[in-house]
Structure 1
Amino acid sequence: MRKIVLSILLTLVSCLTALSQTYDEWCERAVAATEQDSLELAEKCIRQALKLEPANPRNALLFSNLGTIQRSQRRYEQALESYRLALNMAPMSVPILMNHATLSLELGHNDKARADYSQVIELEPYNVEALLMRAYIYMQQRDYKFARLDYDTLLKVDPQNYSARLGLATLCQREVRYDEALVVLDGMLADKGGTKPYTTGELATVCVARAGVELDMLKPDQALLDLDEAIRLDPRQSEAYLMRGRVHLMLKKKTLAKRDLEKAVSLGVPQSEVRELMNQCK
């Protein structure tokens, strides 16, 4: 009987404590819980704040944070709804638009993501992330003209931007403008980022990209030199081993090809991706 009474008292104390919390206190508790990776508690605190003051303008941020929590838990539809509610309250919020765009892109809703990024660019014409991601979507949709416009805009603002330069080189390669692609990639390797030096991993990726262009130009020997350099710069560059394995196969060097393909798998390349290539090494 005493246990039952004690349980009831504890429940009442808990309820009274919750009722005594202010909107700001719930928000602070949500932030603290998020920082401690206690996402369930963070969500509970956010919902308590929303319930306490449903008309508070700051709820746009709460809904956005709630969406991010749900997204991290792979509750994607709920996250989309939370971001939608946030945008209903703050339709011109760049951070919320970016959150919604990122999730839409993850779910394969490319047109919706592009619309969000476009709205961000209307608000902030030189938003680097929005321009990069919209260019990426245009590339996926084979809308190369508009992808090039976004890359050009980025490079006017930041001529050394690594992602924009690499994206532009990839675009040129897809358009079969190989010489232009090489000019971009040669420039990246020559200045190595200038005042914003690229990492060795980034330079290795550029070498792999140049090797890909050289293969398209039917120059396997030059491609091999770039792949060797990529591996020297970054010995864990799995894509370099995979591509070098393909080149060795083209050159009928099956033993070397097998060695590279096995190394690529050890670095994380799925077996399914190399199975047919390994069969050709026999």
Structure 2
Amino acid sequence: MRKFILSFLIWGAVGIPAFSQTYEELSERAVAATEQDSLVQAEKYIMEALKLDPANPHNALLFSNLGTIQRRQRQYDQALESYTMALNIAPRTVPILLNRAALYLELGKDELARMDYALALDLETDNQEALLMRAYIYRQKRDYKAARSDYERLLKLNPLSYNGRLGLAMLEQKEGKYEEALSVLNKMIADKADGSTQITAPLYAVLYVARAGVEKDMQHIDLALIDLEEAIEQDPSQSEAYLMRGQIYLSQKKKELARRDFEKAVTLGVPQGDVRDLLQQCK
């Protein structure tokens, strides 16, 4: 998700009175330290600025930046508190709402995230990030009608949205509308092939994995294997491709091939626990 670390010069540009020199210096040093990944030092500068002037209305931005720094350090409870403090000062600030919503998702608090995305959309009806992420939450909750509404609204705003189109394809798959899902994915792959869109090889590989998943559901196993091979060629670090191919091999009783793919998926970041049962079946 986007990091909301902004230069405090923005505030001056919109006609807000200048900070005291010390407050401004601390704020700017915090931004510079964050950009250099000196997160502990950045946090220290922000805390000093907040103590210096606890009533300053610009502390909304300081608290938001502090929340992002804490989130990057996996201090999730503190980050949530900081984002909430920022919103207490500036409750209608969409970027801060998006930051807190993203953190709620990381913490598995999907309903609270949905509420923040909904509020962001009340304030900015065409906010594409909020539409995309709320659609994702609806899809996870199996509220497919609401998810479709958000995806379609997003794609009216941005017809070439990679995540929006991929999300819609996954929604079609969830609803068992396999031909519709393939239509979306085929168009995305064709767009990349003819240069209509510019995406990286890893993102291109994801499309092949997604299409393989639809083909697998349709029992078109040979086609799925071809797409998984293409995904791995495009991005050898594509763990999902190895995981899915291993599952196909296992269903075909090709246990040694399946074991190799599951082990490769683990080396690429798939948690050992997620494949423990599958590896047991390979014996």
Aligned residue in 2 for 1:163: 163
Residues 172/24 of structure 1: CA separation in 2 closer, same or farther (3 Å cut): same
Q: For the residues of structure 2 that align with 1:108 and 1:219, how far apart are their CA atoms?
A: 34
Per the TM alignment, residue 60 of structure 1 is displaced from its structure 2 partner at its CA by: 0.9
Q: For the residues of structure 2 that align with 1:44 and 1:166, how far apart are their CA atoms?
A: 41
Residues 88/250 of structure 1: CA separation in 2 closer, same or farther (3 Å cut): same
Per the TM alignment, residue 134 of structure 1 is displaced from its structure 2 partner at its CA by: 0.9
**Does the residue aligned with 1:277 lie in a helix, a strand or coil?**
helix
**Does the residue aligned with 1:176 lie in a helix, a strand or coil?**
coil
Per the TM alignment, residue 131 of structure 1 is displaced from its structure 2 partner at its CA by: 1.2
Per the TM alignment, residue 172 of structure 1 is displaced from its structure 2 partner at its CA by: 0.8
Residues 118/200 of structure 1: CA separation in 2 closer, same or farther (3 Å cut): same
Q: For the residues of structure 1 that align with 2:73 and 2:267, how far apart are their CA atoms?
A: 29
Per the TM alignment, residue 31 of structure 1 is displaced from its structure 2 partner at its CA by: 2.4
Q: For the residues of structure 2 that align with 1:148 and 1:249, how far apart are their CA atoms?
A: 34
Q: Deviations over 1:170-202 (max 9, x none)?
A: 111111111111111111111128533222222
**Does the residue aligned with 1:197 lie in a helix, a strand or coil?**
coil
Q: For the residues of structure 1 that align with 2:235 and 2:34, how far apart are their CA atoms?
A: 35
Q: For the residues of structure 1 that align with 2:72 and 2:235, how far apart are their CA atoms?
A: 31
> What code does the residue aligned with 2:23 have?
Y
Aligned residue in 2 for 1:13: none
Q: For the residues of structure 1 that align with 2:38 and 2:209, how far apart are their CA atoms?
A: 41
Q: Deviations over 1:234-281 (max 9, x none)?
A: 222221122112112222333333333333333333333333333333
Q: Which has the larger radius of gyration?
A: 1
Does residue 217 in structure 1 map to residue 221 in structure 2? no
Residues 108/258 of structure 1: CA separation in 2 closer, same or farther (3 Å cut): closer
Q: For the residues of structure 2 that align with 1:26 and 1:33, how far apart are their CA atoms?
A: 10
* Residues 34, 42 of structure 2: 8 Å contact kept: yes
* Larger relative contact order, structure 1 or 2 (CA cutoff 8 Å, min sep 6): 2
> What code does the residue aligned with 2:208 have?
C
Aligned residue in 2 for 1:17: none
* Residues 246, 258 of structure 2: 8 Å contact kept: yes
Output aligned runs, 1:45-194, within 5 Å. 45-192=45-192, 194=195
Q: For the residues of structure 2 that align with 1:71 and 1:113, how far apart are their CA atoms?
A: 15
Normalised by the length of structure 2, the TM-score is 0.84
Q: For the residues of structure 2 that align with 1:267 and 1:248, how far apart are their CA atoms?
A: 19
Does residue 238 in structure 1 map to residue 230 in structure 2? no
Q: Deviations over 1:47-69 (max 9, x none)?
A: 33223323222111111112222
Residues 257/30 of structure 1: CA separation in 2 closer, same or farther (3 Å cut): closer
> What code does the residue aligned with 1:224 have?
L
* Residues 191, 197 of structure 2: 8 Å contact kept: no
Q: For the residues of structure 2 that align with 1:231 and 1:109, how far apart are their CA atoms?
A: 33
> What code does the residue aligned with 2:222 have?
D
**Does the residue aligned with 2:237 lie in a helix, a strand or coil?**
coil
State the aligned residue count: 263
Can you give the 5+ residue segments of structure 2 that lack an aligned partner in the other structure?
Answer: 1-19
Q: For the residues of structure 1 that align with 2:25 and 2:230, how far apart are their CA atoms?
A: 56
Q: Deviations over 1:20-66 (max 9, x none)?
A: 96322222232233334333333333233223323222111111112
> What code does the residue aligned with 1:41 have?
Q
**Does the residue aligned with 1:91 lie in a helix, a strand or coil?**
coil
Q: For the residues of structure 2 that align with 1:90 and 1:107, how far apart are their CA atoms?
A: 23
Can you give the 5+ residue segments of structure 1 that lack an aligned partner in the other structure?
Answer: 1-19
Residues 278/92 of structure 1: CA separation in 2 closer, same or farther (3 Å cut): same
Aligned residue in 2 for 1:25: 25
Q: For the residues of structure 2 that align with 1:267 and 1:221, how far apart are their CA atoms?
A: 24
Q: For the residues of structure 2 that align with 1:254 and 1:39, how far apart are their CA atoms?
A: 47
**Does the residue aligned with 1:22 lie in a helix, a strand or coil?**
helix
* Residues 67, 80 of structure 2: 8 Å contact kept: yes
Q: For the residues of structure 2 that align with 1:238 and 1:218, how far apart are their CA atoms?
A: 22
Q: For the residues of structure 1 that align with 2:256 and 2:52, how far apart are their CA atoms?
A: 69
Q: Deviations over 1:198-229 (max 9, x none)?
A: 22222221111111111111221221121122
Percentage identity across paired residues of the two chains:
65
Residues 277/83 of structure 1: CA separation in 2 closer, same or farther (3 Å cut): closer
**Does the residue aligned with 1:269 lie in a helix, a strand or coil?**
coil
Q: Deviations over 1:124-156 (max 9, x none)?
A: 222221111111111111111111111111111
Q: For the residues of structure 2 that align with 1:42 and 1:236, how far apart are their CA atoms?
A: 33
